[in-house]
Structure 1
Amino acid sequence: MTVEQNSAPDTAQIQLTPDESIVLFELLSRWCEDGKSPTPEASCFESTAEGAVLHGLLADLAKQLIAPSKADYDSLLNGARDRLKGNWDFPTLRG
């Protein structure tokens, strides 16, 4: 491996299902835009870069998703949450 190959930045493409997309969009929207909702404590972040990445991810989702602009968004979101909640049955993010 050459030095150029070793120092090339990593990139990633992440695919989300429609349900995962709107659930993540809603979470990030609350954290980034809703001044009343609780957000992770500052101690959760090691760098302001992490906040910038989350804001960027929210912006990317906002550009791509149609569901948040639909009149029945709350129903779509609740349905997505219901379908996904069985995928995680631990009390915390750590399990």
Structure 2
Amino acid sequence: MADKKVNIELSNDEAIVLFEFLGRFNEKDNSSRFEDQSEQKILWDIECILEKELSEPFRADYQDIVKKAREAVRDEKE
């Protein structure tokens, strides 16, 4: 079972929003929120995977990109 992979598809906007969230979340001590350190490790790993895939975090206008991505992903208010 260890060789089985699960793929998750994200739009670029979703990936940017998730990367930004994980960056903030992983900077803080959230160890009390986890039942096991493996849960924390997975979030670190996902952040690293996204960092390798995204070029936007290295752009000067990254904060504008994040803002636009959040707007694109957010549920519309009724």
What SS class does the counterpart of residue 22 from structure 1 fall into?
Answer: helix
Question: Segments of 4+ in structure 1 off by > 6 A?
Answer: none
The one of 9, 15, 18 equivalent to 2:9 is 15
Structure 1 residues without counterparts, runs of 5 or longer = 1-7, 90-95
What is the alpha-carbon root mean square deviation over aligned residues?
Answer: 2.0
Q: Give the paired residue count.
A: 76
- Tell me the TM-score normalised to structure 2 length: 0.84
Q: Structure with the greater relative contact order (CA < 8 A, sep ≥ 6): 1 or 2? A: 2
- Tell me the TM-score normalised to structure 1 length: 0.71
Task: Indicate the percent of aligned positions where both proteins have the same amino acid.
Answer: 33
Is 1:76 the counterpart of 2:70? The answer is no
Q: Is the 8 A contact 2:31 2:37 kept in 1?
A: no
Q: Give the number of the structure whose alpha-carbon radius of gyration is greater.
A: 1
Structure 2 residues without counterparts, runs of 5 or longer = none
